[in-house]
Amino acid sequence: MTTSNHELSAAGLSARDIYRLMTSLIAPRPIAWVSTIDEQGRANLAPFSYFQAVCSAPPTIVLGIGRRGQGASKDTLANILATGELTISHVSHALVEPMNASSADLPPEISEWESAGIASEPAHQVRPARVAAALAGLECRLTHAIPLGVDGSGKPSSTLVIAEVVHFWARETLIQRDERGHLRAIDPALLDAVGRLGGDTYATTRERFDLPRPA
């Protein structure tokens, strides 16, 4: 049986079409619910799905932050570059509605926390607050910011933020240790995480299967 494929050279595609392919094919993607503050102390909260863990020693995450349609820097990126700090709250299924509400494109003087009715709590080692209802999360400090590509305005089309995790938090019910005192893997059913698919579609982790790695 033969199959036919659409062969699509990236060089011949628009930025919009590439975005559609990237977000459809690289999925599900974890969601970083990123809290930052600017130099005036104004708080910002926004979700990003170009997000991943890349190192455990030191614990390091990466976050891809694109620009707004007119080439302006997003508040999250501007705040990270200005203060060097960010907090990432875990997104469980119960929090998808406020998470989505916080993605609205608001000016810096309007707080997503207030507009979406999201309660905050202080972080332990960084200034940006944590989402109080989140089950877990990461407090991070910027290590590198790498511009990527060039958009129509001549500015970077995206910035790769590399940040070190300096503090973890998780609900007590999530943390268990084995007989040697080592942390066990957190039960995915308790986390009830959601991931981003293409378009406006999300996925849950409610259907899972175990597959031991070969020896």
pLDDT at 69: 65
Q: Does the residue 46 lie in any domain?
A: yes
Structural domains counted in the chain:
1
Q: What is the pLDDT of residue 71?
A: 65
Identify whether 211 is part of a domain: no
Q: Which two tokens stand for residue 76?
A: 């999250």
- The amino acid that residue 48 corresponds to is F
Please report whether residue 176 resides in a domain: no
Residue 136 is part of a domain; what is its CATH number?
2.30.110.10
Q: Is residue 181 situated within a structural domain?
A: no
pTM beyond 0.75, yes or no: yes
Q: Is residue 5 part of a domain?
A: no
Q: Does residue 148 fall inside a structural domain? A: yes
In this prediction, residue 154 carries a pLDDT of 84
Range of the domain at 146: 14-171+187-198
Rounded CA gap, 43 and 127, in Å? 10
d(CA 134, CA 106): 22
3-class SS at 186?
Answer: coil
Q: Is residue 34 part of a domain?
A: yes
pLDDT, position 130: 98
- Tell whether 4 is covered by a domain: no
Q: What pLDDT is recorded for position 70?
A: 65
Per-10-residue mean pLDDT for the chain, 215 residues long? 88 92 95 96 96 97 87 89 98 97 88 94 98 98 96 88 98 95 94 96 92 91
